[in-house]
Amino acid sequence: MGATTAAAAAGAGLITENSPASQANNIKPVKLPRTSISPPVIVLDTGLKPWKVVAGSFCIILPTYGLLSSIGLFQTYWMGHQLGSSFTESEMSWIISMFGFLVCFFAAPSGILFDRYGHEWLLGISTAVYVGAFVGLSFCSTYGQFMVCLIVAGVSAAPPATVAFAVVSQWFKVKEGIATGCVTLGAAVGGILFSMVLQILFDKLPWKWAIIALSGIILGFMTLGNVLVETNMSLHGRRRDHSPPSSNHEEEKPNEELTISVMLKSMRFWLVSISIFAYELVLFIQWGSIPTYAAHTAFADKQFYLMMSYNIGAILGRTLPPWLSDRFLGPLNTIILMNMFTLLVVLGVWLPFGASTVQGLFVAIVLMGIGTGSFVPLGVSCVSAMCEPRDTGTWLGSVYTIVSFATLIGNPATGAILAAYGSNGLLVFLAIALLVGLMSIAALRWVSQGKRMLLRDKI
């Protein structure tokens, strides 16, 4: 029977353990079970389909997280038009904070639904609601109306954003880091794109038609993402080595309650959650504090150029460190390295030079873009390395539900620290958050190596 199976596989052009294709191309094959009917062979990292999924995920992240990184321009517009005479800047910032909070907070149920049912209906329904929320926003003129529409937008953005990150691990193993980095580029590219688009729309059009035009752009990217993203259904019931399920199908059948229970009891889950919470807190404070910090240091006229510089640095941070992770170090080692790099930038460049010279501030902002930009793709890779591919949505969504509270407190914390301790106090707070992230990610590495610290391991 085994010979018959191997012969049939060879005749069908499938990649088996000893086939010339697997040896020549260094592709990790899947062992075929000794049955007359072989399951589909999974070859990850290669071919058009995995990169098609990456392109689709990029198109989803661009109008969700990319728009989130530039949506502060809404607040600037409201200050000069609909809300400026009735509400303070701090009060308006809660609208933006709620949007970012809900995108992350509803990641856990979104991830569970994705693991259970796949992407099709989840992406379709949430895309329709997300675009509809911005169409509704175009007709708004009061604080309450703006808040309701962006709450709906935040909730409906959670499923597509979670799917876009989680689906990558179903198609990649060796190149998962760089693939995730390409997806997260959508946030940096979207930040640059929407910053320019919103400035042009607000200058040329009234609020209603500017936001309707924005809704059309969002619809175009989200539709393309829906078409290109695809769930790898052949991974259902497979282990992290991608071997097929055993003959006992009840043993291999995913159990959501058991998965969540095991996850919540895992020390690795809580350590990676604390680390990413610290990194996202730094990231969201970074997004929100650059204009305010510039104003506190007499560089207020450089706000737009500072944000552009940050996003340029973030593009490098979302590609080079993930490539380094795949090729040489592994995600845990790389994120520890980038954590230390970012901490050195805060204490060695930004703190002593950022407030005194515009050149020093620009150098610090670009380097911070590289450092904090790497946290998103490397963080996603670290989470997916802790669980089975079939559970990635649940783990990733649950981590980002915890992280959502960092997005909620980021803007208010920035304002409070700047008011009480000034710009240097904010930088000290960022350094403390990075130290917490470094300690927890180092502890995760220690636990993942069987409570040993083997420095030469790729992990």
How far apart CA 303 and CA 309 sit, in angstroms, is: 10
How far apart CA 114 and CA 391 sit, in angstroms, is: 9
In angstroms, how far is CA 223 from the centroid of its own chain?
20
Contact 309, 293 (CB under 8 A): no
Catalogue the long-range contacts made by 9-12 (C-beta closer than 8 Å, 24 or more residues apart).
9/38, 9/41
pLDDT-derived band of residue 164, with 50, 70 and 90 as boundaries?
A: very high
Residue 80's Cβ-count burial label (10 Å; 0-12, 13-18, 19+) is: exposed
Residue 320's Cβ-count burial label (10 Å; 0-12, 13-18, 19+) is: middle
Contact 329, 385 (CB under 8 A): no
Helix (H) or strand (E) holding 100: helix 89-105
How far apart CA 306 and CA 361 sit, in angstroms, is: 8
At 352-375, the pLDDT tens digits run: 887 778 888 889 999 999 999 899
Contact 298, 424 (CB under 8 A): no
At 27-65, the pLDDT tens digits run: 444 444 444 444 454 567 778 889 999 999 999 999 999
Show Cβ contacts of residue 238 under 8 Å, excluding neighbours closer than 6 positions.
42, 244, 245, 388, 389, 390
Tell me, what's the pLDDT at 92?
82
Residue 244's Cβ-count burial label (10 Å; 0-12, 13-18, 19+) is: buried
Helix (H) or strand (E) holding 276: helix 267-296
At 209-255, the pLDDT tens digits run: 999 999 999 999 999 999 999 988 776 544 444 444 444 444 444 56
Contact 87, 373 (CB under 8 A): no
Contact 386, 269 (CB under 8 A): yes
In angstroms, how far is CA 69 from the centroid of its own chain?
12
- pTM assigned to the model: 0.78
